[in-house]
Amino acid sequence: MSTRGPVIVMELPEKLNHAAISSFLDELRPLLEDDRPCIVLDCSQIKDLDSGGVEMLLHCLEQAMKRDGDLKLAAVSPASGVILELMRVDRLFEMFETSAAAVRSFQTFALETTAQSQPWYAAPHGFADLKATG
């Protein structure tokens, strides 16, 4: 596990099935209980993903969103992608090619949402633009 600022990157194990999820969930649970958890799960090592594993990913996403955070997936292999698609959950997760790209996506989002140097109506395509064109 590695921590890059507020974003936590965690590598998922080779087996993410009914038997393996409880130990992994124990490790992840404290991180999910933080305020606004920003978690990236690196899926590059996954070789065996089953319905239990998918259920765990959904549970983690739900917990993160409850606390106003988010959970993103990185380096999802084509085989894992097929299983997520088969179980209709692929569209629920934001997926990135690499963990670094996933981490960057959190930081970009944070910058955009926290930049308050100008009033909201001065933003591009905001109220000021409307006034100028009108």
Partner 1 sequence: MLLGAVVAVGGNNQWASQDSATPLDAAGDVQKPLLREPLECIEIAGRSLVERLVVRFAAVDMVVAVLVEAGTNVPKFRTARENVTVEFVRDLSSAINQKVSDFSQQGIDHAFINCANTYTETDLLDLFSFHRESRQRVTPTYDRQGPLALWVVDCAKAEDVPLETLLRDSRSNAASRYFIREYVTRLQEPRDLRQSASDMLRGRCQIGPSGREVRPGVWIDEDVEIHRRARIVAPAYVGCGSKVRADALITRFSNVERDCCIDCGTVVEDSSILSGTTVGIWLDLCHAVASGNKLLNLQRDVLVEISDPSVLCSTSASRKFVPSASRQREPLQKVSDLQEQRPISGAWQLGNNLIQE
Among 25, 52, 101, 104, binds partner 1 (CB under 8 A): 52
Q: Which of 40, 58, 53, 55 is nearest to 13 (CA)?
A: 53
Is the distance from CB of 64 to CB of 32 less than 8 angstroms?
yes
Q: How far is the CB of 77 from partner 1 (least distance, A)?
A: 9
Question: Judged by CB under 8 A, does residue 85 bind partner 1?
Answer: yes
Question: Which of positions 6-25 make contact with partner 1 (CB under 8 A)?
Answer: 17-18
Distance in angstroms (rounded) separating the CA atoms of residues 5 and 73:
18
Start-to-end Cα distance in the chain? 53
Question: Judged by CB under 8 A, does residue 130 bind partner 1?
Answer: no
Instruction: Count the residues of the shown chain that bind partner 1, applying the rule CB under 8 A.
Output: 15
Query: Would you tell me which residues interact with partner 1 (CB under 8 A)?
Result: 17-18, 48, 50-52, 78-79, 81-83, 85-88
